[in-house]
Structure formats: C-alpha cells, structure tokens
Amino acid sequence: MNETILKGILEIAYLIGSVTFVLGLKMMGNAKTARRGNLIGAFGMTIAILGTIFLFSEELVPFKLILIFAAIAIGSIIGWITAKKVEMTKMPELVSMFNGMGGACAALIGLIEFPHIINKMGPSHEGTGSLAFIIAGMVIGTISFSGSIIAYLKLAGKMNTIRLPQYNIINNAILLGILIFSVLIVFNGVTFPIYIVWVLFAVAILYGILFTMPIGGADMPVVISLLNSFTGLAAAFGGFLYQNKPMLTGGILVGSAGTLLTLAMCKAMNRPLSNVIFGAFGGGGAVASGADVTGNIKDIQVSDLAVMLNYSKKVVIVPGYGLAVAQAQHIIHELEKILEERGVEVKYAIHPVAGRMPGHMNVLLAESNVEYDKLVEMEDINPEFEQTDVVLVVGANDVVNPAAKTDPSSPIYGMPILEVDKAKHIIVNKRSMSAGYAGIDNLLFYDPKCSMFFGDAKKALTELVAEIKTL
C-alpha cells in the first residue's frame, strides 16, 4: 500500500485515539457515564495500537508480529482476569500495581532507546532533546514503578511504614543527585559508557522506594494519586520521543488529572502536599500524638437500633473502609431500600479521602447499585446533619473525628470532616475500639449522643435488617 495512504490512515487512527481519550476522561467525571467513558477510552487505545502495528507491519518479519500480538494477548488476559477477580477491598492494591506497570513500561523505553540515541548522536551532540525525553521518562517512570510497588505492599499489609533517621535529608540528597546525574548524561551522554543509564535506573529505583516507605498510612490515597501522575508524565515524555500523539495525549491527561486529584485530596485534608511527603503521619498502627481522651463509651443493641431507624425521618449513612473489608455494600443497600419503603429519607455521606484510594466508597456503593444521586459529597451533606435523626457510621473513623476541629495537638487538626456530631443520634459500627488509619483515638465515640454498634459490618447489618423486617 502507498506509504502516504498508510501515514494518512495512521494519523486518522491517532486522531480517533486522542479524541476518545479526552471524551472518555470527560465522561468518567460523572458516575452515571464513567463505565461508558472507560470503554470509549479503551476503544481509542485499541485503534491507536492497531494503527501503529499495521503501519510498520511491512518492516516487521512475521515472527516479530506474532511476538507482538502474543504479548498483547497475554497481557490482556492477565489484566482481564485480575480485574474481574479482585475484591473491592483490594482495589487500591490493584490500582497501585497497574500504575507501577505503567511506570515500568516508561522505564523500559528509556533503557532500550538510550543506546540507540547515543550511537546516533556521535560527537556532534545532535539529538540532545530526544536524549532529555528519554532520561526524564526513564527516571520518572522508574520512581513511579518502585514507589507503586512499595505502595502496593503497604496497602496489602505486607510492609510497615519505615522511617530512617533524617529520611527527608537522605531522600532530598538522592533526588538532587539524580537531577545532577541526569543533566550530565543529557549534555555529555556520548562521553559516558552505555551502561551508565543502568546506574541511573538503579538510583531512581532506590529513590522511589525511599520516597514511599516513610509515607504514613493515612496519606496513601494521596501518594497513589501522585504516583499515578508520575506515570502519566513519563508516558507523555515517551509521546514526545516517538512523536506519538495518543501516547502524548494520554500521558498529559493522566499526569494532569493525577496532579489535580492529588491537590484536591490535600485540600480535603487541609494539608499541603509538602506536608504529606515530608511530614506524613499514620505509620501503621502507632498512636499519634493528641490530647488524652476521657469519657464513657455506650453501646446499643440491635433491637433498639432497629426501632430508632424505623421511626426516623432522615438517616445518613457514612461508609468507610470497614464497610469494604466486610463486603457489606449489598446488605447496606438492602437496609437503605427497607427504610425508604417505610418513608425514611436515606442518603450517603462521602468524604474525599474515605477508604484507601480516591473514589473508593463511590465505586464500592456503585457495585451494589446504590443510586448515584444518593451519594452526597462532604460540602453538600455537612449542612444537613443538624436536621438528621440518625447518622450510621459504618467502618469510617478519621473522617468523622471531631479532633480535626477541636484538638490543635492532633495530627489531623484542620482537616475538613463529616460533621456527624451535629446529628440528633450517632451510631458507629466497628469491630472494636481500635484506632483508625491515622493511628489516633476518635473523640466521637465519647460523645453523649453516640452509641457503638460493635461487630463485623456484614453480620451486624444483616441482623439489623432482619430485626427491622419484624417491626
């Protein structure tokens, strides 16, 4: 086929890919269209990949084509099976792992292309710009890869938070070394041996590990989002290198979206990003500083709670990670439907950093077919708590802790919270009195209006639903 025609077809394929990425991302901003947006973006990526392969098919021997399609098939099957089988509680770990693989791809591009560009440059130093893209993509992708793997291990409970003495100074020194080393390679690459890029690769892996290790558990949603933006940025540099429009568009969209989401979550916690990275808290179970908590804890029996909910006018449910762990999203939806049949208004209060990743609670409740308009964001639901008869907190902790408003010594002080303490009655379902992810005691439990409903969320809510049905 004529080369001009092939290039024209490729440009059309790339245009379709770029447009569908933008359209898909726009649709993913709305819960009702998010699934369709994801499929549209995947369709555009498929078109772009096939267009690239078939344009260069004449330059590839059949054996290489077979290897390419075999790799695509194997990766697709593994990704499909993994995504289908993963439990909702493990979704943050899956996101971290998939993001790490994206960073690894960007790093491999750099490692493979480095010797090619060095051999082309020669003494003339032509191609410095391409070398800069290679080094930037490789370093950022490597940091994202190793950091995401550490994030995965921490989220999966296979690794605790580790803080070396003066870890900020160590990390900043390594980062400065990476920057200086990278600049020297870009401007003096031909004078260095080819294997020097592997040294930079190893140092970047070390920095990614040291960067993520000290981040406290309560800050992991922010770190996941930040690492995601790193991967997008690394992909964008690859797009510059290959002059590949879908790769460039996708990388820019992922990088910018991840950055905006990171900043939005920092705002939701009332903490600057620098404080998350350099002053993290919630390090895997150690109780953080804060005022001593005194008072009495009272619990409530399932029969009393059933009567209270049954005769309420308005109930707000606050979902948290405990709901996901217990896989209780379906039974809580059943509770919602029963109460609504009896004339009770039911809403869900969603905090921006509830769960272990951005949007975790939204995805969890969508799985059980909760209507999207019942999910109310923090800014909109807070004014309604004063008119709420009962707030049912299921597995949430730090996002409802009044210490964020009243205790200057608390590490979460200043973080916007769901102001459930303004409701007439507060019911908290937890397995025990253990601290939340930030590692601090919850003042809400000692509020005179608060009663504890102890037990596994799924089992306790199942008993509650059965009790309400008898009324």
Are both 66 and 154 inside the same structural domain?
no
Co-location of 27 and 124 in the same domain: no
Provide the pLDDT for residue 145.
96
How would you list the strands of the sheet with 450-454, edge to edge? 375-377, 345-350, 314-319, 390-394, 425-430, 450-454
Q: For strand 425-430 and strand 450-454, is the pairing parallel, antiparallel, or unpaired? A: parallel
Check whether residue 262 and residue 352 sit in a common domain: no
Tally of structural domains, the chain: 3
| The pLDDT value given to residue 289 | 47
Asked, for residue 225, whether it belongs to a domain, the answer is: yes
pLDDT tier at 215, thresholds 50, 70, 90: confident
Q: pLDDT tens-digit profile of 158-214?
A: 887 777 788 888 988 999 999 999 999 988 877 788 889 999 999 999 999 999 988
pLDDT > 50? residue 12 = yes
Q: Within a domain: residue 297?
A: no
Which of 280, 264, 158, 261 minimizes the C-alpha distance to 214?
280
13 and 67 both lie in a single domain: yes
Q: What pLDDT is stored for residue 287 in this prediction?
A: 42
Q: Quick one: pLDDT at residue 55? A: 74
pLDDT bin (cut points 50, 70, 90) of residue 300 is very high
Last residue of a domain, one of 286, 317, 339: 286
pTM of the model: 0.80
Q: Are 77 and 96 members of one domain?
A: no
The pLDDT tens digits for 402-433 are 988 888 877 777 888 899 999 999 999 988 77
Residues 338-366 have pLDDT tens digits of: 999 999 999 999 988 887 777 788 888 88
103 and 76 assigned to the same domain: no
Q: Could you tell me the CA-to-CA distances from 88 to 266, 359, 444 in Å, in that order?
A: 24, 12, 27
**Does residue 262 lie within any of the structural domains?**
yes
Domain annotation covers residue 365: yes
* Same domain, yes or no: 217 and 351: no
Q: Which domain holds residue 66?
A: 1-85
Q: Which residue has the higher pLDDT, 246 or 285?
A: 246
DSSP 8-class letter at 314:
E
Residue 459: CATH number of its domain: 3.40.50.1220
Q: How are beta strands 390-394 and 314-319 bridged, if at all?
A: parallel
pLDDT band at 292 (very low <50, low <70, confident <90, very high): low
Q: Which of 237, 252, 286 is the last residue of a domain?
A: 286
Mean pLDDT of 434-451: 79
Q: Other CB atoms closer than 10 Å to residue 292's CB: what's the count?
A: 6
Q: Is 425 contained in some domain?
A: yes
Annotation marks residue 219 as catalytic: no
Answer whether residue 294 is part of any domain. Answer: no
pLDDT range class, residue 91, cuts 50, 70, 90: confident
Question: Domain ends where: 85, 117, 136?
Answer: 85
User: 398, 407, 421, 441: which one is catalytic?
Assistant: 398
Mean pLDDT (the chain, rounded): 85
